[in-house]
Amino acid sequence: MYGWLYRNALARGDAERAHHLAIGMLGAAERVPGGMASLRALVPEPDERLRIRLWDLPFANPLGIAAGLDKDARAVPALHALGFGHVEVGTVTLRPQPGNAKPRVWRAVEQGALVNAMGFPSDGAAAVRARLIGQRPAGIVGINIGKNRDTELDRAVEDYAALVSALFDVANYIAVNVSSPNTPGLRSLQTAGELLRILDAVNQANSEAAVLAGLRPRPVLVKIAPDLEDDEIAAIAEAALEGGASGIIATNTTTSRAGLPERFGELPGGTSGRPLRERANAVCRLLFQRVGGRLPIVGVGGISCGADAVERIRAGASLVQVYTGFTYAGPRFAETLLGALSADADARGWRSIGDVVGADVG
């Protein structure tokens, strides 16, 4: 029954309203007697071969929820219960903001895609922190952070540093978002020089928060766009290394409308889902060739079935994340992807995810 409600909530009516309804249903599962147990029943027993340790964090499996699905941390325990090894909350901004005007989400159902121009709607860092403190997540929680729309670009570093300080104690890792196409000028911050400035401020705030908490600094990842030339991606990867980043998330949404009906060309925002798959795979392979072994890669974009997840890992991703594919497939999506990874292990005889990361990269 839950699966039927979930799929139909997402398949009908206004796309953003349906999304909020689905997240609300997942969040309510924690408060309803037997709700969490019903979600866990959708997931097979853990496959020990799928466990992976990165940044000294124990991931039950490489599958995660990408930023954008649970922006304000309303359903983190439920998403873990559905089988996801990590959930990336956000994008979270320092101060609450409404995002762009509605409508701002459109479905391309036949193409398995979404176009969104959300613009970082966020309850703000304080509200997200308070919500996460009250939850008991069973897996890893990442927090994706971005500057407020009204923060001038030359002061963006202040937002990112303040966000790290505000959210340090509720994050297992932090993802710096400088690649959304929906905040004016944001993508200019992913150039090598600007990225180094941001990472310097973030790392300083991270170190200071760690000292105050008596903990180790959180891993800091950088999320990049697919709409870059290969040499630009290589330069960003080297800047991420130089700036002390712990990993790269590839990729954000694309401004391209390739593969979508002509009417989508007039819409603002970024495309996610199946049309992004090939470019996201290519970026992942390029990054693995440049920084594989030095920086783990989180592969996201266009993962719509089990074969896509297997392909992305073999293209160099240590972790994979989903969003659009999940919204179309429903609550058994994690089961499908984890089953495909286990089947690949059976067929090829590998014993751990680390054995096959980048296996198909020449």
Question: What is the CATH classification number for the domain harbouring 299?
Answer: 3.20.20.70
Average pLDDT for residues 195-206, to the nearest whole number?
93
How far, in Å, CA of 234 to CA of 15, rounded?
36
Surface-to-core class of residue 212, CB atoms within 10 Å of its CB (0-12 exposed, 13-18 middle, 19+ buried): exposed
Q: Is 360 contained in some domain? A: no
Residue 61 pLDDT greater than 80, yes or no: yes
Average pLDDT for residues 186-203, to the nearest whole number?
83
Q: Is 362 contained in some domain? A: no
Farthest CA pair distance, the chain: 55
Residue 8: band (very low, low, confident or very high) from pLDDT cuts 50, 70, 90:
low
Q: At 62, is the secondary structure helix, strand, or coil? A: coil
In the chain, what is the straight-line distance between the N-terminal and C-terminal CA atoms, in Å?
Answer: 46
How far, in Å, CA of 87 to CA of 140, rounded?
6
Residue 158: band (very low, low, confident or very high) from pLDDT cuts 50, 70, 90:
very high
How far, in Å, CA of 70 to CA of 79, rounded?
9
For 253-292, write each residue's pLDDT tens digit.
898 999 999 999 889 889 999 999 999 999 999 999 999 8
Q: Is 122 contained in some domain? A: yes
Quote the DSSP letter at residue 122: B
pLDDT above 70 covers a percentage of the chain that reads 96
Where is average pLDDT lowest: 10-14, 49-53, 96-100, 240-244? 10-14
Quote the DSSP letter at residue 31: T
Residue 244 pLDDT greater than 70, yes or no: yes
Q: Is the separation of the CB atoms in 85 and 48 below 8 Å?
A: no
Residue 325: name the closest of 12, 181, 109 by CA. Answer: 109
Q: Is 236 contained in some domain? A: yes
Q: What's the pTM value of the predicted model, to 2 decimals? A: 0.93
Residue 180 pLDDT greater than 80, yes or no: no
Q: Is 361 contained in some domain? A: no
Residue ranges in the chain assigned as alpha helix (H): 2-11, 15-28, 35-40, 76-81, 125-133, 156-167, 192-213, 230-242, 277-291, 306-314, 324-329, 333-348
Residue 99: name the closest of 127, 128, 68 by CA. Answer: 68
86-92 and 57-59: which strand pairing?
Answer: unpaired
Task: Specify the pLDDT at position 133.
Answer: 92
86-92 and 220-224: which strand pairing?
Answer: unpaired
Q: Which of 38, 122, 165, 180 is catalytic?
A: 180
Q: Is 296 contained in some domain? A: yes
Residue 246, number of CB atoms within 10 A of its CB = 17
Residue 4 pLDDT greater than 60, yes or no: no
Task: Specify the pLDDT at position 2.
Answer: 43
Average pLDDT for residues 184-210, to the nearest whole number?
86
Residue 162 pLDDT greater than 60, yes or no: yes
How far, in Å, CA of 39 to CA of 291, rounded?
37
Q: Which amino acid is at 233?
A: I
Phi, psi for 32 (deg, rounded to 5): -95, 130
Residue 142 pLDDT greater than 90, yes or no: yes
The overall average pLDDT reported for the chain is 90
Residue 1 pLDDT greater than 50, yes or no: no
180 carries an active-site annotation = yes
**How many residues are listed for the chain in this entry?**
362
Residue numbers of the domain that contains 35: 2-355
Within 8 A by CB and 6+ apart from 17, the residues are none
Average pLDDT for residues 109-135, to the nearest whole number?
91
Task: Specify the pLDDT at position 83.
Answer: 92
Quote the DSSP letter at residue 181: T
Number of domains within the chain: 1
